[in-house]
Structure 1
Amino acid sequence: MLATPGHTGDSVSFVLPAENAVLTGDTILGRGTTVVAHPDGVLADYLDSLARLKARTGSGELTQILPGHGPTVSEADELVSFYLVHRAERLDQVREALAAGAEGADEVVKRVYADVPRAVWPAARLSVLAQLAYLEGPGAR
C-alpha cells in the first residue's frame, strides 16, 4: 500500500511489484485529470503524492499505471510527469485569473476552465477551491 492523499484525504494506491505496476484509483486516471476534491482533498498532499509516484516511475520501478477509471497506462513516468506539469500550469492560470481581478472560485472557474464543458465546472470548482487554499496557505506559494 502506498498512501497517496490529495484527491481525497484517504486516497491510497497499491504497488504490484511483480508487474511493475501501481493501482492508482482516482489519484491518476487513464484519461482526463484528477479532481482535488476540496475540502477533503488537499493540493499540497496531492503534489506530494505525485512526487512520490514520480520517484518510483522515474526509477523504472513502476512502469504501468492501473487507474480506477480509463485504460491501463504503459508509460507511467510520462503520465506522472504530465500530471505534475498540468498542476503547475493550472496553478499559474489561477494566479493569472486572480491577478486579472477574478474574485472567488466561481470567477476563477469561468476564466480558467472556459474551454471545458460546463458539466465539468462543479468538479473544477472543487479543484479551484483546493488551489486557492494552497495559494493562501502557509508560506503562500
Structure 2
Amino acid sequence: MAAYEIAACSAKIMAHVSKHWHDCLGVAITALFALLAHPIPLWVGGVIALGALMNGTLEEVFWRGTVLLDDATPAQQIGQLGLFTGWHVALLFATGVVVTGGAAGVLGGAAIGGALWTLARVQTGSIGFGAICHVALNLVAFTELATHNL
C-alpha cells in the first residue's frame, strides 16, 4: 500500500471517528457505571483491558480483514456477518456464566456491532475503525461479565 493510500485511508477512519465520537463516550460512561456499581480488583481490570484489546483486534483482523474480501458482494458481506454473529453463540453455553441480556443481548450486540464494523470496512477499506470500536465495546462487555461472574 502506497503512502498516499495509507493517508487517504487514515483520513476516512478519522472522519468516521469524528462523526461518531459520542458513541465512544457512551461506551466509556457505561463502563464507568458498571465499575461503580460492582467494583472489581485492579488486576481484573488489567486482564479485562488486555483481553478486550486482544479479542477485539484479532476478531477484526480475522472477520473483516481476512474473511471479508475487498470486492465482497452484499450477499458475501451478509454471510460474513452471519458467521461472525454465530461465532458468539458459544458464550451462551459457558457453564456457570451469567450473561446480561441473554441470547438477545449477546447475539443482537454481535449482529449490530458486526454490521457497523462491516460497513466501516467496506466504506474505508480498513479495519481500523471497527477494531477501535470493537475493543471499546469489549471493555464494556468484559467488565459487565466480570462484575457479575466474580
TM-score (norm 2): 0.42
As a proportion of its length, which structure holds more strand?
A: 1
Structure 1 or 2, whichever has the larger Rg, is: 2
As a proportion of its length, which structure holds more helix?
A: 2
If asked which structure has higher relative contact order (CA below 8 Å, sep 6+), I would say 2
